[in-house]
Amino acid sequence: MAFDEHLADRIRQIMQAKKVPFYDKKMMGGLVFMVNNKMCCGIHIDKKYGDSLLMAKIGVEAYQKNIHKEECLPMDFTGRPMKGYIFITPQGFDMDTDLEYWVTKALEYNKISI
């Protein structure tokens, strides 16, 4: 299964509208958006979940504030959650405003002025 190209285009549009210098890179079976040569957000195909998940690097503080939300999952490739990273299920980024919320959280953590 390939990553969701439509979701990738939506993320690109948000980054471009915010005038963020970025590039995308195929990685870990999905697509990662790099900002300042660091992972900012991306798309991951989760075999357990069976769908594309949005990955966002939002930092430990924002993680703790958001992980309780129904659409949020810990990012745990190896069985141990990665600190400061979160997965968001499709219900959490279906609406453009919701996707922009998560991309903005990732940009804020990655210290991009928006």
**85 to each of 1, 6, 15, 16, 56, how far by Cα in Å?**
23, 22, 19, 23, 6
* Residue 87 in domain: yes
* Residue 35 in domain: yes
| Domain span including residue 25 | 5-97
CATH code: domain of residue 20: 3.90.1150.30
Q: What is the pTM of this model?
A: 0.91
* Residue 106 in domain: no
Full pLDDT tens readout for the chain, 114 residues: 577 899 999 999 999 999 999 999 998 778 999 999 999 999 988 777 778 899 999 999 999 999 999 999 999 877 788 899 999 999 999 999 999 999 999 999 988 655
* Residue 112 in domain: no
* Residue 47 in domain: yes
